[in-house]
Amino acid sequence: MRRLWVVAVSVLLAGCAAVAPSTPPAAVVPFSINPPDVPRPRGWDELVISRNKTPTDYRLVPDASDGTVVLRARARRSASGLKQVLDIEPQVKPKVAWCWRLTGLIEGADNQDRHAEDSPARLLLFFDGDRSRLPARDQIALDLAETLSGRPVPYATLMYIWENRQPVGTVIASAHTGRVKMVVAGSGGEDLGRWRRLERNYVADFERAFGEPPGRLVGVGIMTDTDNTGGEIEAYYGDIELRHAALDDGLTDPLRTCAWGGQARR
């Protein structure tokens, strides 16, 4: 039972779905449409990791270079995130593009070590799926997590993370549960302090990480956490966009333009 508790809570940490609106949106609400100096973007909800953990501080702020509103995260021995409910067929929009800017690395962070599993920036994608195909212990853990939380939990969670040392593209299995996999999207200290715009085919990444096609995309989230290492870090998030497969404008080059709300800048 202790093992089931750990697994269930870990799945819960990956992002229990909020109470879904009557018609979940088919696009991610941009941060840039919000006014500055408010803690939570329109359309987003709090992602609670544990009531026993200090929450990370999030606030919408104007970017220093052009005043565009972005999301600032400040973690001080803390862990929490923000999430938005979605309802999207992944094959229609199989790509995700986003911007983030890091001010530093978390000393001692290592996402292969359950005791040091922190990251200055995470992008989370939550998926539905056929639970009957899972091993019995995973089915029980998901059911237990829903019972404990009183809310639905995702079938699987794919995270894009910034890692201290693992190379980009590395898939890291969560030390807590097989229903969470992490893909390294940024690594090391290169380009710290600069905006980076990235694009990933999350359908391909999901299949590589979980060995099966993804179900419906039911949510998106972001998280900056330092609860395991006890450190402090600041990071910034720009708009997140789900894209059609045919769209290809070179976003795999991390140093190209970063766009928010239809505006492009270097």
Q: CB under 8 Å to 212, separation ≥6 — which residues?
A: 133
Worst-scoring range by mean pLDDT, 33-37, 96-100, 132-136, 184-188?
Answer: 132-136
Model pLDDT, residue 256: 42
Give residue 248's pLDDT band: very low, low, confident or very high (50, 70, 90). low
CB 13 within 8 A of CB 207: no
Structural domain count, the chain: 1
**pTM for the structure as a whole:** 0.87
Would you give the distance in Å from CA 254 to the centre of its chain?
Answer: 18
Q: Is the pLDDT of residue 12 over 80?
A: no
In tens, the pLDDT along 192-246 reads 999 999 999 999 999 999 999 999 999 999 999 999 999 999 999 999 999 998 7
Give residue 176's pLDDT band: very low, low, confident or very high (50, 70, 90). confident
* Mean per-residue pLDDT of the chain: 85
Q: Is the pLDDT of residue 6 over 50?
A: no
> Which comes out higher in pLDDT, residue 115 or 14?
115
What CATH number has the domain bearing residue 64? Answer: 2.60.120.260
- SS3 of 214, please? coil
Pure H helices in 1-62: 2-13
> Which comes out higher in pLDDT, residue 147 or 135?
135
- For residues 2-10, give the mean pLDDT: 45
Give residue 51's pLDDT band: very low, low, confident or very high (50, 70, 90). confident
In whole angstroms, what is the distance from residue 112 CA to residue 256 CA?
A: 30
Range of the domain at 200: 2-265
